[in-house]
Every structure is written in structure tokens, then in C-alpha cells.
């Protein structure tokens, strides 16, 4: 029995990411030793830095670093080995800090490059009463809102994603994200920029440096417990990998702003550890997560993973190739067989991405059965604009046939129809492509049509916004799931004169119909009962 397509379901729980391991960690309980195991200790750079054990002067553990800049010989520490992060590298720094009562309001250098431009500074001088991050190029990102310059201990975390974004947390609350190049060098603790009056005059405790971007849950662990949360249990080895493809042009590539993704009850802005993702020819294979923009893959993967969560050792993977402004007639043209001969450049690129993605999946999950189970196609705008609308039905039919020769006979194929709201396109051509997409889906029982008319668009009347991309992904997942085999049927005696029937593997929220055909004749099936799986 094939369950029919139903309305978009709610997204469910996402698994936590892996535990981050620090490049350096200084508890300052008794000395300046690196407790991470990396051996990058701190040594005195000037003055007489010390560890204070006074209860009011420590945030956690037995002590805290005490630094003074009240004299010309300010106190600071140097790393045994300086740390340097390029603009494309993620990193994070977390610490507790407080100003000494009566200290110069300009004091507050936590870490940075002695004599260079790089620093993290927490003054309370009126211009900056929160935190200033300055990168290696001398650009600033200031965080003042919601900060209390009261001289008490507060917890800070500065997280650089390696893609030009920095986020700052203050006492476990995000102060927001800034776009800034995150190149950063650290040679010292308590001093930077070579300005005595800005050196730290107070205490620093529980200083962490990571070579990756820690997430909000890990920041919370550092804030609440002074340490990272324990790593999640290792996932069950995948016995079955259900692979789904995403292809098309700009709305498949995605123009959604990641800030529009929810963080509760599911944090879709963070990596989804139970869904593998491979994009383009070179990957790499990673957990599904948004980059600087996102497409339908985020909720496509999440919804599919939730639907198959009850299957033992089953895992979802998304392989994607998309390129904005590309047409079906030429660039996605099908050559007509399972080879790349005669295929358009983008279709060849998709096949390369799939081959490399499957190889990466096989290496990551060597014992898993891997099968491609569907493709989501988000394309048509370019053909409408270029006047290829009259050929779109034939071209799409040929493309689906070639895809099935290449990736599997009867492969479920989801067509996300152009929206009537994409009025940036020539309207007559838009209508023709929409009609072609509808007709192709109606003629093939293994092609599903997703109606994008209710989905939200950006102001350009061409691209779907963050909400629209989530709607495309979730609806496409349910369209694909309508082709999942339900599993085995078991029948046992029920009430007198009746039976009870169980359907293994039924998907929650889908309706399943029991039909009878006493004579087993064509067209002789009649519905007995319909139930919705829970």
C-alpha cells in the first residue's frame, strides 16, 4: 500500500554535536599550566602574575589568575607557543573575568597579540562597556547591549565560524552575530596592543581556547559547570544508508538566511549529527548544517531522519549539486543513457558529486547498505526566462528517464513546481513551465509534485526566503516518504469473525488504506478501512 502525500509535519528533535576538544585550557587553580594535554603553558611576560585563591576573586575551582596594570610594569603572561587562526579557520575562546575594584576603566585586555592589532578586550570606559574583538587587520566588532560593567565575574565566549561571522555569548546569552574577518593571533594573556592602561587589572579564570566553533550547548556547559558537557554516546553503526539527492538552480542552491532557522524546539542552525551531507564534487562529507545561506536540504534531511528514526541502524544522507542561473535545456540536458555522453555540464557535475559522495559515505560507514532513494528537483526559472518553456515538458521527461538509468530504475523524483509568486519571470513563460511540471508529474506515478505557491519568497519575487526553503524541504521529504515501502503485514485473529492487522514500518501521520479484491480482478479493489499511523 502506498500512503498518500499529506500536509507538512512538524520538525522533531536533533541530536547533539560531538564534544569539542580545547587547544589549551587554563583552570588557574594553582599555576599557569595547560590542562588540555597539549602542553601550551603560560609563562610570565612581565611583572609578577599570580594565582589568587581568595573566594571573591575566583569564579570556579581553587584559584584564578590575578593581574595588575596599576604600575608601569603591568603584569601579563605569554603562551609557550603562540596561537594563530587564519580568516577561514574556526576558533572559540571562553573565560570568566572581573575588573579589580577601582581599576582604570580602560583596563580589560584578556588575550591578544602583544604589539599587534589582535585582541579581546572587556573595558568599561563608556565607549566600550562590553567586549571588543579586533582582528589581525585592525577591524573591530563591539558588543555592549545587555552587559553590566559592574566589576563582578561574568562569563564570556567568543565564537568564530571561519566563514566571516563572529558570535559573542555573555553569561550564557548570545549577544548576536557580527560579520567580520576572524583572522586572529594570540601571544599573550592579560595584555595586547602594547598599551599599559588597557592591560588587565583584575582576574581571569577558566580560560579555554578551541580550534573550532563551539555551539550554544557547549557554551552553556562552560557557563554552568566550568567544563564542556560530556560527549554524546557514539551513534549506532549505520546498517542502512538512505541517500537522497538535491539538484537544480538557485532555489536548490538556496538563498535562505540561516538566522531564519529555528533554534527551538529544534536547533536547525547547528549541525544535525544524524544526517550526513555532501555538496558539490569535493564535499567534504559532514553533518548537515547551514552555511552562509541554505536551501531545502536542512528540513529535507531533518524530516526524513525523523520519519525513519524507528528503523534500527538506519541513517539519512543528502548529496547535493546545484548552480544558480542554469537551464534544463542545455546545462542539465540528458544524453539519454547511463553514461555522461551528451549530458549537460551541470548534469555531469551532479553525477560527479553523487559518485564522490557515495564513496565518502562508504568510507565513513563501511558496513552499511547504501541506496539512492529519491531526487528533489528545484529548477525551471532559467528556462522560463530564456524562452525554453515550450520544450520544458519534453526536456524534463528525458531528464527523469536518464536519471533513472543512471541512479536506479523507478527512482522517486520530486518536482518542486515554480511558484505563481515568482513574478520576476515572464508571466506567460512562468505559466507554461508550471503547466509542464504539473503534466510530467501527472503522467508518472513515481514523480511527485510539490506545490510551492503557499511558500514564502524574498522581496525579489524570485527566490524563496528562509521560511520558504524550510517549507520546500519538509514538503519534499513527505513526497519522497510517500514512496517508502511500509514493511511487512501481520494478520492475527481478532474479535469473533474478524482479524487484526499490523503494518510494520508505517510512518507516523500517514494514512494507510486496507483494500479487498475477492476476485483478484483488475480494478476490482475496494476500500475496507483507512487508518492514520501514530
pLDDT digits (tens, 9 = 90+) for 118-165: 999 999 888 898 999 999 999 999 999 888 878 889 999 999 999 999
The pLDDT confidence band at residue 306, using thresholds 50, 70 and 90, is very high
| Residue 502 confidence (pLDDT) above 70 | no
pLDDT at residue 497, rounded to an integer: 62
Quick count: other Cβ atoms within 10 Å of Cβ 173? 13
pLDDT at residue 53, rounded to an integer: 95
| Residue 4 confidence (pLDDT) above 50 | no
- Higher pLDDT, residue 271 or 358: 358
Determine contact, residues 161/213, Cβ cutoff 8 Å.
yes
pLDDT tens string 211-234 = 999 999 899 989 987 665 565 566
pLDDT tens string 359-380 = 999 999 999 999 999 999 999 9
CA distance 467 to 469: 5
Mean pLDDT of 409-434: 97
The pLDDT confidence band at residue 23, using thresholds 50, 70 and 90, is very high
- Higher pLDDT, residue 517 or 278: 278
| Residue 489 confidence (pLDDT) above 70 | no
pLDDT at residue 467, rounded to an integer: 97
Helix (H) or strand (E) holding 81: strand 76-85
For strands 202-210 and 286-288, give the pairing: unpaired
For 443, how many CA atoms within 13 A lie in the half-sphere containing its CB?
A: 12
With DSSP H G I counted as helix, E B as strand and the rest as coil, what are the percentages for the chain, rounded to 5? Answer: 20, 30, 50
Q: Nearest CA to 344 among 361, 359, 329, 356?
A: 329
pLDDT at residue 17, rounded to an integer: 41
Angle at 254 between CA 6 and CA 356, to 5 degrees: 95
Cis peptide before 265 (omega within 30 of 0): yes
Mean pLDDT of 479-508: 70
Mean pLDDT of 172-201: 90
> What is the average pLDDT score of the chain?
88
CA distance 255 to 469: 8
Q: Nearest CA to 85 among 19, 160, 141, 140?
A: 160
pLDDT tens string 33-82 = 999 989 999 999 988 999 999 988 999 999 999 998 765 568 999 999 99
Determine contact, residues 100/190, Cβ cutoff 8 Å.
no
For 299, how many CA atoms within 13 A lie in the half-sphere containing its CB?
A: 27
Q: How far is CA 10 from CA 265, 302, 303, 484, 525, in A?
A: 10, 10, 8, 19, 33
Q: Provide the 8-state DSSP code for 68.
A: -
| CA 166 remoteness from chain centre | 16
- Higher pLDDT, residue 284 or 310: 284
Cell triple for 406: 543512471
pLDDT at residue 354, rounded to an integer: 97
The pLDDT confidence band at residue 197, using thresholds 50, 70 and 90, is confident
pLDDT at residue 114, rounded to an integer: 87
Determine contact, residues 49/75, Cβ cutoff 8 Å.
yes
The pLDDT confidence band at residue 9, using thresholds 50, 70 and 90, is very low
Q: Nearest CA to 133 among 125, 121, 123, 145?
A: 121
Quick count: other Cβ atoms within 10 Å of Cβ 74? 24
Please provide residue 95's backbone torsions phi and psi, each rounded to the nearest 5 degrees: -170, 160
Amino acid at each position: 500500500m502506498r500512503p498518500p502525500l499529506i500536509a507538512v509535519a512538524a520538525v522533531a528533535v536533533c541530536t547533539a554535536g560531538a564534544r569539542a576538544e580545547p587547544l589549551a585550557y587554563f583552570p588557574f587553580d594553582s599555576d599557569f599550566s595547560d590542562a588540555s594535554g597539549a602542553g601550551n603553558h603560560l609563562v610570565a611576560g612581565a611583572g609578577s602574575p599570580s594565582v589568587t585563591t581568595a573566594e571573591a576573586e575566583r569564579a570556579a575551582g581553587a584559584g584564578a589568575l590575578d593581574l595588575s596594570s596599576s604600575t608601569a610594569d603591568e603584569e601579563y603572561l605569554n603562551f609557550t607557543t603562540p596561537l594563530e587562526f587564519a580568516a577561514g579557520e574556526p576558533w572559540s575562546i571562553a573565560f570568566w573575568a572581573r575588573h579589580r575594584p577601582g581599576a582604570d576603566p580602560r583596563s580589560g585586555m584578556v588575550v591578544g597579540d602583544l604589539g599587534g592589532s589582535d585582541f579581546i578586550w572587556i573595558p568599561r570606559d563608556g565607549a566600550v562597556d562590553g567586549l571588543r574583538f579586533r582582528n589581525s587587520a585592525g577591524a573591530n566588532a563591539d558588543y555592549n547591549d545587555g552587559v553590566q560593567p559592574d566589576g563582578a565575574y561574568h562569563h564570556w565566549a567568543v565564537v568564530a565560524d571561519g566563514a566571516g561571522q563572529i558570535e559573542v555569548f555573555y553569561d550564557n546569552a548570545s549577544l548576536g552575530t557580527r560579520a567580520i574577518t576572524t583572522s586572529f593571533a594570540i601571544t599573550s594573556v592579560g595584555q595586547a596592543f602594547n598599551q599599559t592602561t588597557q592591560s588587565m587589572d583584575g582576574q581571569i579564570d577558566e580560560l579555554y581556547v578551541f580550534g573550532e566553533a563551539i555551539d550554544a550547548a557547549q557554551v552553556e556547559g562552560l557557563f554552568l559547570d566550568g567544563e564542556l558537557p560530556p560527549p554524546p554516546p557514539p551513534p549506532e553503526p549505520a546498517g542502512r544508508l538512505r541517500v537522497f539527492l538535491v539538484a537544480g538552480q538557485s532555489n536548490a542552491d538556496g538563498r535562505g538566511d540561516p538566522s531564519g532557522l529555528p533554534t527551538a524546539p529544534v536547533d536547525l542552525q547547528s549541525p544535525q549529527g544524524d544526517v550526513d551531507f555532501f555538496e558539490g564534487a569535493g564535499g567534504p562529507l559532514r553533518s548537515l548544517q547551514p552555511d552562509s545561506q541554505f536551501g531545502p536540504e536542512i528540513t529535507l534531511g531533518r524530516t526524513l531522519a525523523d520519519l525513519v528514526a524507528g528503523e534500527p541502524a538506519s541513517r539519512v544522507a543528502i548529496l547535493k549539486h546545484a548552480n544558480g542561473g542554469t537551464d534544463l535545456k542545455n546545462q542539465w540536458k540528458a544524453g539519454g543513457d547511463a553514461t555522461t555522453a551528451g549530458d549537460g555540464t551541470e548534469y555531469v557535475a551532479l553525477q560527479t558529486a553523487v559518485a564522490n559522495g557515495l564513496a565518502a559515505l562508504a568510507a565513513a560507514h563501511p558496513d552499511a547498505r547504501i541506496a539512492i532513494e529519491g531526487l528533489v528537483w528545484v529548477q525551471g526559472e532559467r528556462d522560463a526566462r530564456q524562452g525554453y518553456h515550450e520544450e520544458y515538458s519534453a526536456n524534463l521527461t528525458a531528464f527523469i528517464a536518464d536519471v533513472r538509468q543512471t541512479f536506479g530504475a523507478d527512482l522517486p523524483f520530486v518536482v518542486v513546481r515554480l511558484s505563481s509568486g515568482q513574478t520576476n519571470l515572464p508571466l506567460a513563460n512562468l505559466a507554461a513551465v508550471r503547466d509542464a511540471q504539473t503534466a510530467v508529474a501527472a503522467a508518472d506515478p513515481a514523480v511527485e509534485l510539490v506545490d510551492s505557491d503557499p511558500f514564502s519568497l524574498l522581496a525579489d519575487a524570485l527566490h524563496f526566503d528562509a521560511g520558504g526553503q524550510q517549507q520546500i524541504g519538509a514538503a519534499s521529504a513527505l513526497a519522497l516518504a510517500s514512496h517508502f515501502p511500509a514493511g511487512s503485514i501481520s494478520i492475527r485473529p481478532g474479535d469473533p469473525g474478524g482479524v487484526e492487522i499490523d503494518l510494520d514500518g508505517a510512518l507516523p501521520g500517514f494514512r494507510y488504506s486496507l483494500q479487498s479484491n475477492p476476485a483478484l480482478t483488475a480494478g476490482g479493489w475496494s476500500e475496507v478501512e483507512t487508518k492514520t499511523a501514530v
